[in-house]
C-alpha cells in the first residue's frame, strides 16, 4: 500500500504479520496494524485516513483464518484504552477490547447473568459482530446499545435493530469499528452464576479440544439446525455428525487436522499454514456434500489473500 497515513498517538506498524494475533496462529502480514491509544485517537485517524484505504477491525482473532498472503488493509486492533467494564444495576457496559470471559466474571460478581459469555474466547467487539452465543443464549438477547466509530471518524450509537442480528452475524457500516457495548442481563446470585460458569468450562474441556489451536466451530450446523435459540429451531442435525458420517473426523492436510475430539473443530497441530486449514475445510465440505448432499457453510471467517505462487 503506497499511501501517506495519518500519524496517530497510538501504535502504527507497517507490514505487520498477523499470525501471533490469531488463535490459529496463521496468517501473513497486514499492510498496517493500528492500535489506537483511545477513542479520540481512533476518530482522528479514521477521519484523516484516505477514503480509499480499506480498514479491517479485528478482535482477538478467535474466529478468523487470515490467509498466508496477509491483508491489504489497515487492521485495527483495540487494546488497553478500550477494555473497561462497568456495572450499574443490571446494565453492563464494556469496551470492545474487553474479553468476553472477563465481562462475564465481572457481571457475575455484581449479580448479573452474562454467563454464556464465559466460555467464548473472543472480545466484546467480536461478540457483537458475530452475535456470539452458546448454551441457548446469544449476544442479541442481552445487547441494548453498541457504540461505533464510523469509517469517517464519527461516534455513533447503534440499537439492536440497527445491528440486525442473525445467526453469527450482525450488520455494521463498512469500515466501522465497535468501541463499546451495553448489555442488560437477568439478575442472579453471584455464587450460583460462578458455579454455573465453572460447570460450563468443565463441559467445554470434556467435549472440545480447548487446549488446541482452533477457531471454535468450523461450520454452522446445517440450515434449519443452527442452534439459533429460537423456539422453532431444532437441534437434531449437527455439523460434527455429517462430518463424522463423511469419514472426516481426524482427517489432516499438512499441519491442519479435523480434531479427533470434536470433528467440527479445525486445528493447527503446530505447523499448519492458512492454506492447509482452508484447504482441509474445503475438502470436508466436498466430502460431506458427496455423502449427504448437505452444503456446509463456514462459520470461521476467512480473510486476506492467498500466498502468491
Query: What are the backbone dihedrals phi and psi of residue 57, each rounded to the nearest 5 degrees, phi first?
Result: -80, 135
- Residue 127 binds ligand FAD, judged by CB under 6 A: yes
Distance CA 239, CA 297 (A): 9
Q: Would residue 168 show up in a list of annotated catalytic residues for this protein?
A: yes
Active site residue 217: yes
Least Cβ distance, residue 135 to ligand FAD (angstroms): 8
Distance CA 135, CA 132 (A): 11
Q: Which span (28-36, 46-54, 58-66, 284-292) binds ligand FAD, by CB under 6 A?
A: 58-66
Q: Is 120 in the site for ligand FAD (CB under 6 A)?
A: yes
Q: Which residue among 214, 217, 259, 275 is the active-site one?
A: 217
Q: Applying CB under 6 A, does 134 fall inside the site for ligand FAD? A: yes
Q: Locate all alpha helices (DSSP H) within the chain, ordered by sequence.
A: 39-48, 100-109, 124-130, 139-142, 160-163, 190-207, 239-245, 274-292
- Does 149 participate in binding ligand FAD (rule CB under 6 A)? no
Length of the chain: 309
**Which residues 243-272 are close enough to bind ligand FAD by CB under 6 A?**
none
302 catalytic per annotation: no
Query: Are 284 and 258 a contacting pair, CB within 8 Å?
Result: yes
Residues 6+ apart with CB under 8 A from 2: none
* b/e map 130-144, b = 16+ CB within 10 Å: bbbbbeebbbbbbbe
Per-residue x/- track, 21-40, ligand FAD (CB under 6 A): --x-----------------
Q: Which of residues 279-308 bind ligand FAD (CB under 6 A)?
A: 301
Please name which of 72, 81, 70 lies closest in space to residue 18, comparing C-alpha atoms. Answer: 70
Q: Does 123 bind ligand FAD (CB under 6 A)?
A: yes
Catalytic positions are 168, 217, 299
List of residues contacting ligand FAD (CB under 6 A)? 23, 56-64, 78, 96, 120-123, 125-127, 129-130, 132-134, 172, 177-178, 210, 214-216, 301
Amino acid at each position: 500500500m503506497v499511501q501517506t497515513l495519518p500519524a496517530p498517538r497510538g501504535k502504527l506498524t507497517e507490514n505487520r504479520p498477523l499470525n501471533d494475533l490469531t488463535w490459529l496462529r496463521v496468517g501473513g502480514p497486514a499492510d498496517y496494524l493500528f492500535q489506537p491509544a483511545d477513542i479520540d485517537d481512533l476518530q482522528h485517524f479514521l477521519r484523516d485516513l484516505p477514503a480509499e484505504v480499506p480498514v479491517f477491525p479485528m478482535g482477538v482473532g478467535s474466529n478468523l483464518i487470515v490467509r498466508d498472503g496477509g491483508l491489504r488493509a489497515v487492521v485495527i486492533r483495540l487494546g488497553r484504552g478500550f477494555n473497561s467494564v462497568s456495572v450499574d444495576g443490571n446494565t453492563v457496559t464494556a469496551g470492545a477490547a474487553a474479553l468476553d470471559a472477563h465481562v462475564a466474571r465481572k457481571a457475575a460478581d455484581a449479580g448479573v447473568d452474562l454467563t454464556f459469555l464465559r466460555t467464548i474466547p473472543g472480545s466484546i467487539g467480536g461478540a457483537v459482530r458475530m452475535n456470539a452465543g452458546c448454551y441457548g443464549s446469544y449476544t442479541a438477547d442481552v445487547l441494548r446499545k453498541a457504540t461505533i466509530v464510523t469509517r469517517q471518524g464519527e461516534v455513533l450509537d447503534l440499537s439492536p435493530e440497527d445491528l440486525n442480528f442473525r445467526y453469527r452475524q450482525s450488520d455494521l457500516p463498512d469500515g466501522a469499528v465497535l468501541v463499546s457495548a451495553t448489555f442488560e442481563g437477568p439478575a442472579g446470585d453471584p455464587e450460583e452464576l460462578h458455579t454455573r460458569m465453572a460447570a460450563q468450562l468443565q463441559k467445554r474441556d470434556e467435549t472440545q479440544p480447548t487446549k488446541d489451536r482452533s477457531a471454535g466451530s468450523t461450520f454452522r450446523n446445517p440450515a434449519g439446525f443452527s442452534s439459533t435459540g429460537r423456539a422453532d429451531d431444532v437441534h437434531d442435525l449437527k455439523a460434527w455428525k455429517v462430518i463424522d458420517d463423511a469419514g472426516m473426523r481426524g482427517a489432516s492436510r499438512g499441519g491442519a487436522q479435523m480434531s479427533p475430539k470434536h470433528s467440527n473443530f479445525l486445528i493447527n497441530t503446530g505447523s499448519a499454514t492458512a492454506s492447509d486449514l482452508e484447504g482441509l475445510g474445503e475438502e470436508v465440505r466436498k466430502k460431506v456434500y458427496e455423502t449427504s448432499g448437505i452444503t456446509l457453510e463456514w462459520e470461521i471467517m476467512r480473510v486476506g489473500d492467498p500466498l502468491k505462487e
